[in-house]
Amino acid sequence: MRELPTAVATVMDRSGEPNPYLLGVYAPVHEEVTAEDLTVIGEIPRDLNGVYLRNGPNARYPMRGRYHWFDGDGMVHAMHFENGRARYRNRYVRTRAFEAESAEGRSLWTGVMEDTKDNPFGNGHGLNLKDSANTDLIFHRGKVLATWYLCGSPYALDPLSLETIGAETFLDTLTGDFMAHPKADARTGELFWFDYGPRPPYLRYGVVGASGAVEHLVELDLPGARLPHDLAITENHAVLMDLPLFQDLDAARQGRYKLTFDRGLPSRFGVIPRRGLAGDIRWFEAKPCYIYHVVNAWESGDEITMDVCRVARPAPNGAGTPLSRMLSYLKLDARMYRYRFDLRTGRTSEGYLDEEQNTEFPSIDARLTGYATRYAYNVSVKEAETNLFDGLIRYDNVTGERQRYRFGEHRYGSEAPFAPRDGATGEDDGYLVTFVTDEREGTSEVQILSAADLAAGPLARVLLPTRVPLGFHATWVRADQLR
């Protein structure tokens, strides 16, 4: 275990109010650990070979001003499985901002809840926030890319050592910034992404080809600045979003970050051929909403189906203290929802797949991104002040069946992407892997479940020597991709 020499305990930010996203299951950890020979309860399947990696915020220094959960420095926690053995490792993502703060031994940036004008530098759009690469991870061409929700530099990591290789430039072809949730087509080796910002062009859409270079890039016209978080791909198209949740520009001029939701505007979904030009995009209208995450999308004949976790009421009323507003804006409240875009008529149909369950952080068999999938593996979101994932849910698109697993009282998990077993023949022929953290014990473990039988509970639990704070997105890298 190696403690970083300049790490300082971060319990409070400087607002004077205890911030739940710095306490308990969210409290940052200050050691970078490498651990093997771990205690296993049950048996790690020998045909589970690869790495489970999860990103998330882990504030290294006490924050200047108020802390927002999105502000923390990116830290990746990883479990490497090989022939029934498991190794754990966690490392910060060494971004430019991380290195700048390390050199000073203190926080140099203020976060999204403060005036950011005096911060050292920001992203390509002039948002003067710290690009922490804390949001998602995606495997591409031998490296794992750590990405940031407001669009920043994708940081390339070694999937086993977690060493930061550096900002990924795609063979010096990347201009501007890169979104948090690019989509990889496993069949073509392409990576689809966008870049957005507060000034025109509000949205740029691009494709990194199998060559590793940006091979396609177009500027798309939007009515104004938007906050898209995700996109979808299908065999021949990409689907981009224009949703009526915006940054309040009056507030921005006063140096504040504030969101508004305009119920009078539709949601719009732009269907564009994968390498289409701006004039090729076709917009489909639907009821107003916000969407963080797409489950998957695919084509059948002239129709595109897109499943998402949809937020019907994205902006709670703005009452209360800055801390209570932050908590209410952050709280996930989403439902499984399906859109169908008819490419012949231009019509949209939409409706709930599950109107009851608050569910988010969806994942699928990543080899089928953009092609029809039967199963979605989501987390269930607990009724609580903060975001707590109290269980996993498997949705079956064909039968409508739902399988559930709950982590148990005071135990919370992470996004659990599908991990195919060696030689897998189907999209539930494998496992789900997740970190589980116990709120009362302050301990963490890894759980491995059968993707075909979640309700049976974990096949194995691997006890960790350190706590894994709750965080953001995860990915699975197969052993054959590591070679």
Find out whether 106 and 120 touch, Cβ atoms under 8 Å.
no
DSSP sequence for 88-119: EEEEE---HHHHHHHHHTS---B-TTS--TTS
Give which of 226, 229, 169 is closest to 201, Cα–Cα: 226
* Phi and psi torsions of 279, nearest 5°: -70, -10
- Is position 293 annotated in a ligand binding site? yes
d(CA 111, CA 104): 18
What type of residue is 342? D
- Is position 80 annotated in a ligand binding site? no
Find out whether 333 and 358 touch, Cβ atoms under 8 Å.
yes
- Burial label, 357 (beta-carbon count in 10 A; 0-12, 13-18, 19+): middle
DSSP sequence for 277-346: -GGG-EEEEE---EEEEEEEEEEETTEEEEEEEEES--S----S-HHHHHHHHH----EEEEEEEETTT-
- Is position 77 annotated in a ligand binding site? no
Q: Which residue(s) pair with 183 in the sheet? A: 192
- Is position 410 annotated in a ligand binding site? no
Structure tokens at 386: 């903060």
Give which of 208, 241, 138, 223 is closest to 180, Cα–Cα: 138
Give which of 425, 424, 365, 446 is closest to 85, Cα–Cα: 446
Residues annotated within the binding site are 181, 229, 293, 473
Residues annotated within the binding site for Fe cation are 181, 229, 293, 473
